[in-house]
Amino acid sequence: MGMQTFDELRAIVGKRGFISSPEELHTYECDGLTYFRVMPRAVLLPNSTEQVQAIVRICHRERMPFVARGSGTGLSGGALPVENGIVISLARMNHILEVDFPNARVVVEPGVINLDVTGRVSPQDYFYAPDPSSQSICSIGGNVAENSGGAHCLKYGFTTTHVLGLEVVLPDGTLVHFGGKTLDEPGYDLAGVFVGSEGTLGIATKVILRIVKRPECVRTLLAAFPSTNEAGAAVSDIIAAGMLPAAIEMMDNLSIQAAEAAVHANYPNCGGLLLVELDGPVAEVEALMTQVNEICRSNGASEIRVAQSDAERALVWKGRKAAFAAMGRISPNYIVQDGVIPRTALPRVLSEIERLSKEAGVRVANVFHAGDGNLHPLVLYDRRISGQEKAAEALSAQILELCIAAGGSITGEHGVGEDKKKAMAKMFAEPDLATMQRVRCAFDPLQLSNPTKVFPTPRLCGEKPGEYVPHASESAGIAERY
């Protein structure tokens, strides 16, 4: 970037919105996945859509890549800067622009913090449903990029379910609108494609969200099982009984220990802990809670507790939400993995993980969104012990392969980013990825918006797509095409 371009960019955002000194840039060289670090050339903090457009137009003119960044809490390197690129931080665009209760819509800027949306609407008894564990610091813009989930998405859906419309600056600086306040706007569902595209299709500058009325009551049950197998069987029975809980979470013994050490959630010490939350009208929830209780008991639960107050409920959740960070209490270093399996594959996959863990001499703690099959194995290691880091990385990769083999996914909510690009080629066949990249070419033909992420091999947009060639495993009859 020439001095002149530098000055032009600074003129757009002003001195306070322009960061270029190496010591300040360090803050932006990675996101929540600190393993990858790249120093950006500059960080810009625009405070309006017009400023974002102006910056992106210059990037487009100069063929300079850019990476949009929210709060930087992502766990896949999605906000990792790219070589010779700039970072556009949306942190200063943090206003809630409109709250419309009769229509249950909220319009926000991308830098608004997830929990602040709920904070703003809770006096009227509404909430914003997607609740990633980082919700007190992560931004709506980041949630849009990653299609964030959370413990309650089993019942309430993901970010994509709750985004009705978007204002987006395309990678050439054009401003466009996808969806809107009303449903089913004529045309392709570009909002559906944009949410979860990990910043590769442009920058969202305004987001229309749906808010939800709080249910009449919420009940949280904690059940202690001898092992995760019994806990898993109870989950299957709950689903088979035709219930759709707001959340079902499972923790194994190692995670329980870590959570206890960190936040004293008063969890029972057991092999498999189940947390089941039901919400809705009181009479309905109580009838169902009785059944959940019976199901847990008949599957060998030794102890069952129902949180008696909001404070108790909050404590139960605090333990679960702190589980990742709590690993620091029992291990100097750890890798957070994020795979998905069909829920019924749980016993098989968990025992495989246990076998691999023993083989590698690396401990694995398991935290699991049991209702939707999202598995978060935490691979624990000590960097100071020679060879452990490598062993932990290898084990983490093997776990992902287990998920793919079980018919699952390499990521349920953390995203592909930089971290899982290679695994994409294991989950998808070449034509699948090529088709996604063709969509990318429609949005960003010059590949300026967070390039080098998501896809294992970049493809030039002028390239003619080749004829369809089946994936090797598919031809061999090993894998179905998913």
Binders in 344-403 for another protein, by CB under 8 A: 344, 369, 372-374
Give yes or no for a contact between 395 and 364, defined as CB atoms under 8 angstroms apart. Answer: yes
Q: Residues touching another protein: how many (CB under 8 A)?
A: 97
Give yes or no for a contact between 370 and 235, defined as CB atoms under 8 angstroms apart. Answer: yes
CA distance 99 to 274: 36
Which uninterrupted H or E stretch holds 426?
helix 421-427
Residue of the chain from 130, 245, 377, 408 that contacts another protein (CB under 8 A):
408
Residue span 88-107 as binding mask against another protein, x where in contact by CB under 8 A, dash where not: ------------xxxxxx--
Amino acid, res. 218: V
Q: Per rule CB under 8 A, is residue 134 in the interface with another protein?
A: no
Stretch that binds another protein, among 82-90, 218-226, 294-302, 414-422 (CB under 8 A): 414-422
Residue of the chain from 75, 233, 416, 448 that contacts another protein (CB under 8 A):
416
Kindly write down the DSSP assignment for every residue of 372-413, as one continuous string.
Answer: TTEEEEEEEE-TTSTTHHHHHHHHHHHHHHHHHHTT-BS-SS
Q: How far is the CB of 357 from another protein (least distance, A)?
A: 23
Residue span 444-463 as binding mask against another protein, x where in contact by CB under 8 A, dash where not: ----------x---------
Residue written as token pair 């498999």? 272
Q: How far is the CB of 397 from another protein (least distance, A)?
A: 15
Q: Per rule CB under 8 A, is residue 418 in the interface with another protein?
A: no
Q: Tell me whether residue 381 or residue 455 sits nearer to another protein (CB atom).
A: 455
Residue of the chain from 152, 320, 414, 453 that contacts another protein (CB under 8 A):
414
CA distance 402 to 101: 45
Which uninterrupted H or E stretch holds 43?
strand 42-44
247-252 and 303-306 strand pairing: unpaired
Q: Tell me whether residue 1 or residue 99 sits nearer to another protein (CB atom).
A: 99
Specify which residues 355 forms β-bridges with.
none
Q: How far is the CB of 446 from another protein (least distance, A)?
A: 13
Range 262-321, binding another protein (CB under 8 A): 280-288
Range 177-216, binding another protein (CB under 8 A): 177-178, 180-190, 192-193, 195-197, 213-216
Q: Is 240 helix (H, G, I), strand (E, B) or coil?
A: helix
Range 42-71, binding another protein (CB under 8 A): none
Residue of the chain from 149, 199, 377, 451 that contacts another protein (CB under 8 A):
149
Q: Per rule CB under 8 A, is residue 152 in the interface with another protein?
A: no
Stretch that binds another protein, among 57-65, 260-268, 339-347, 384-392 (CB under 8 A): 339-347
Nearest Cα to Cα of residue 133 among 410, 365, 322, 313: 322
Q: Per the structure block, which two tokens stand in for 383?
A: 């960097």
* DSSP type of residue 118: H
Q: How far is the CB of 14 from another protein (least distance, A)?
A: 28
How many H-runs (helices) and E-runs (strands) does the chain carry?
18, 19
